[in-house]
Amino acid sequence: MVGYDFYIDAYKGGSIAVEEWPLFEARAAEQLARYRRIYTVTAPEENAEAMAVCAMADAFAWFAAAQNGAAGTVSSASIGSVSVSYAGAQNAVDLSPRGQARELLRCAGQYLDIYRGVG
């Protein structure tokens, strides 16, 4: 289990509130356990697994915010009379299960060596 202090101090995260951390950390830890079952996963550095859990927890938090409409991106802006339009999060990022799986694997792969094949 990766503590919230590690997320804040070592990973330098800040997008997940302390009360939401247990949910997103648990989801990320479950995802890492799944990767270990189906891939060869090695940690090249001491805290690599914890960093991967933090990265995936951030992704899970972002997915949740995007699905609730809170992560929209600016699609157009004007200077005169100040006008801003936000695109829906669904238009900005692939939130399909396949897109989310791809992003989670990318997040974990930033810190872990994940290999599929004959060893």
Using one digit for the tens of pLDDT, what is the confidence trace for 34-78?
999 999 999 999 999 999 999 999 999 999 988 887 655 545 555
- pLDDT of 105 strictly over 50: yes
Domain of residue 55, residue span: 4-115
Domain count, the chain: 1
Query: At residue 89, does pLDDT exceed 50?
Result: no
pLDDT of residue 92: 55
Long-range contacts of 103-107 (CB under 8 A, 24+ apart): 103/59, 104/31, 104/56, 104/59, 104/60, 105/35, 107/52, 107/55, 107/56, 107/58, 107/59
Length of the chain (residues): 119
pTM: 0.80
- For 4-39, the pLDDT digits (tens) are 999 999 999 999 999 999 999 999 999 999 999 999
pLDDT band at 97 (very low <50, low <70, confident <90, very high): very high
How sure is the predictor about 95, in pLDDT bands with cuts at 50, 70 and 90? confident
Residue range 95-104: average pLDDT?
A: 93
